[in-house]
Amino acid sequence: MSHVHPLPPTPQTAAANREALEHLPMHDVDDFADAARGLIAPLTEAVLHADGTPIFDPSWFDFIEDDTPAPDSVHPSLWRQAQLMKRGGLYEVVAGLYQVRNNDIGDLTVIEGDDGLVVIDCTTGIESGAQAMRMIREHVSDKPVAAVVYTHTHADHYGGVKGVVDPADVASGRVPIIAPGTVRSFDRFAIGENVVAGAAMARRAQYAFGSLLPYGERGFVTCGIGNALGNPTISYISPTDPITRTGERRTIAGIELEFLYAPDTEAPENMHVWIPQLGALTCAENANHALHNIQTLRGARTRDARNFARFLDETLERWGDEAAVHFGPHTWPVWGNASVTEFIGSQRDTYKFIHDQALRFANKGWTPLEAAEEIELPPALSQRWYNRGYHGTVHHDVRAVYTKELGMWDGDPVSLNPHTPVETARRYVQLVGAERLMEEGRRALEQADYRWATQVLHHVVFAEPENTEAKELAARAYEQLGYQAEGPQWRGVMLTAALELRTGVRSSGLTSASDDSINAMPVDILFDYAAVHVDGRKAADADVLIDIALTDQHDDPHDERWHFWVRRGVLNARRGPSPSPRLSLSGPKASLVAVLLDPASAGALVDAGALMLTGDPSELDAYAALLDSADPVFPIVTP
């Protein structure tokens, strides 16, 4: 009974999606005009890898037509967002400010100054960044890039930088890179946040961003705030001009920029930018045509909903009276002072509502799931399209406020020390029998009680992972939940669950650890990254000590000498040489990165003259024996 292809929506799913329409402000169609406003050139070409394979092709979204009602397999609110997000190209936002939108998950903004361009955010990949700059060159200006601004520490904002500027121009000081936080802190979060837990995040991102799904009405329709998360070449150049205080100003090519430092919001380092000459403002992703994640489903540190509201209000206080346009690094701009202040104020109140109500319920003893089930935005907020859950959802953002403020335990003793999912599943199957559980799953499916169906069938799948009928039944339930989800990440998770239950674990090759990002890692974080590869059990009685000399860390002489040791199951590292070295490795950072993560590569590096070993080489063998080589393509929806 197993199906490789997705099944149609059930009549109950179709009815649920039709019913959802009744509660949506479908009469408000302004976004369609705004998303099209100022178009200079549409996207016509695919973004390609060097070998010609496509990273993103605008024709992939041709199945989403304008003015067509949502198919029964897509929530109507999500379909509308997909219709808006499939539009892309080069746009004039106001005279002198341009955006290339939707050739990537992130957008690139250019401000034309007297004798140069200021680029704000660079898209995710070198390829999309370069394509965006080609469009700017062709239609707007061929003035040189005079500065790059990263609004925050996420890869879809810095990853395309080497498609935008020549690293030599940054190194020479000709082109500053302006970014929030100290350089060290930006590096730490930009690289550390996405790499040290990167394998888990990349695998979970494949679910949340639907990157394993086919494009289509029964598959991927949009990721909500941009186009598909492809597999571009992510580059990195460290910032050179840090912004650490609100009110700091820079003048670049005659363009004045003023900054509001907004850390611990959508990203750990974040800032808003005001361009007084143009009356133009960006709150980065703290204000967007979507409710954002307080907790991303790919996994990342939990964010502070209160801070979103705090810094949005401070932005209104500072520039609200003068702002004529808001542009973001995702979705489309908002024009006109009344609309801009309503947009920012409404987003502020949405985050604050979620924060305040979650804690109100917490303080009454409600657990996270109970509060998430109960809390709804008031109509004054929910009837604004931009507050709807195209990235975060009220449901999982409420739970995230609990995580941020109260931590991992929901306070119910039963969840403090429960059995693992497999053990729990075995016990349920032993108690009632797989057949009885499947019967209940079939009954729940029949009655369109899909949430319950997944919960019941989960026990059979985890107790009997070879039970293809149970897996197919669970897939059918997840599939309908996906079709009914307004949030694209929920849709992605549910439909990917169905796909993998039917066809097994897959990989889109998505990774967060690009060569550039690993090589740009601050040295101490590099040791943090190596440390999470140490198998604590194997290393329980280890005694390894290795000295490191980095021959290319001239910028920071502090970072030239290090030593690390593994004892008691733990890798620690310190600056400076060890008191009694056993083995010293010397070479450029790239070689040391390779050896730390893959000690077997040492021989080839020595042969190539890229690494020197002095002392007892058996220390390296001992280290190699302690590393875990886990497959990053791990199962999620099966044990």
Binding site for Zn ion (CB under 5 A): 154, 156
Residue owning tokens 């900054």 = 259
Minimum CB–partner distance for residue 564 and Zn ion (Å): 34
**Percent composition of the chain: helix, strand, coil (DSSP 3-state, to 5):** 40, 15, 40
Which strands sit side by side in the sheet containing 570-575, from one edge to the other?
570-575, 561-567, 543-550, 583-587, 612-615
User: CB of 330: closest distance to Zn ion in angstroms?
Assistant: 6
Question: Alpha helices, DSSP H only, in 37-182?
Answer: 76-85, 126-139, 155-158, 161-164, 167-171
Nearer to Zn ion, 154 or 476 (CB): 154
Give bridge partners of residue 414 from the DSSP assignment.
Answer: none
Q: How far is CA 148 from the centre of its chain?
A: 21
One DSSP character per residue, 227-266 reads S------------SEEE-STT-EEEETTEEEEEEE--SSS
Q: How far is the CB of 285 from Zn ion (least distance, A)?
A: 5
Residue 209 or 623 having the CB closest to Zn ion: 209
Is the CB of 286 or the CB of 315 nearer to Zn ion? 286
154/303 with CB nearer Zn ion: 154
Backbone angles phi, psi at 511, to 5 degrees: -145, 150
SS3 labels along 578-606: CCCCCEEEEECHHHHHHHHHCHHHHHHHH
By beta carbon distance, the residue nearest Zn ion is 156
Q: Kindly compute the dihedral angle of the four CA atoms of residues 483, 488, 493, 499, in this order, to the nearest 10 degrees.
A: 50
Q: Do residues 207 and 494 make contact, with C-beta atoms less than 8 angstroms apart?
A: no
Question: In the complex, what is the shortest distance from the CB of residue 47 to Zn ion, in angstroms, rounded to a whole number?
Answer: 17
CB of 372 to Zn ion, least distance (A): 24
CB of 296 to Zn ion, least distance (A): 11
Q: Tokens in use for 538?
A: 């194997």
* CB-nearer residue toward Zn ion: 224 or 441: 224
Query: What SS3 string covers 186-218?
Result: HHHHHHHHHHCCHHHHHHHHHHHCCCCCCECCC
Minimum Å distance from CB 334 to Zn ion? 17
Question: Cβ of residue 88: shortest distance to Zn ion, in angstroms?
Answer: 15
* Residue (154 or 399) nearer to Zn ion, CB: 154
3-state secondary structure of 147: strand
Distance from the Cα of residue 377 to its chain's centroid: 24
Q: How far is the CB of 502 from Zn ion (least distance, A)?
A: 31
- Picking from 126, 121, 81, 75, the residue whose alpha carbon sits closest to that of residue 101 is 121
Q: How far is the CB of 22 from Zn ion (least distance, A)?
A: 32
Supply the minimum distance, in Å, between the C-beta of residue 289 and Zn ion.
Answer: 13
State the amino acid at position 580 in one-letter form. S
Helix 198-208 / helix 488-503 crossing angle, nearest 10 deg: 100
By beta-carbon proximity to Zn ion, the closer residue of 112 and 156 is: 156
Phi, psi of 107 (to 5 degrees): -105, 160
* Cβ nearer to Zn ion, comparing 6 with 160: 160
Class of residue 507 by CB neighbours under 10 A (exposed 0-12, middle 13-18, buried 19+): middle
CB of 127 or CB of 156, closer to Zn ion? 156
Q: Are 521 and 191 in contact (CB under 8 A)?
A: yes
Sequence-ordered list of residues with C-beta below 8 angstroms from that of 44, at least 6 positions apart, any chain: 58
The least CB distance from residue 155 to Zn ion, in Å, is 8
Judged by beta carbon, residue 101 or residue 154, the one nearer Zn ion is 154
Which amino acid is present at 27?
H
Nearer residue to Zn ion within complex by CB, 13 or 270 = 270
Nearer to Zn ion, 89 or 328 (CB): 328
Among the listed residues 203, 284, 206, 339, the one whose alpha carbon sits nearest the alpha carbon of residue 634: 203
In this complex, which beta carbon is closest to Zn ion, that of residue 72 or of residue 156?
156
Minimum distance between the CB of residue 286 and Zn ion, rounded to whole angstroms?
11
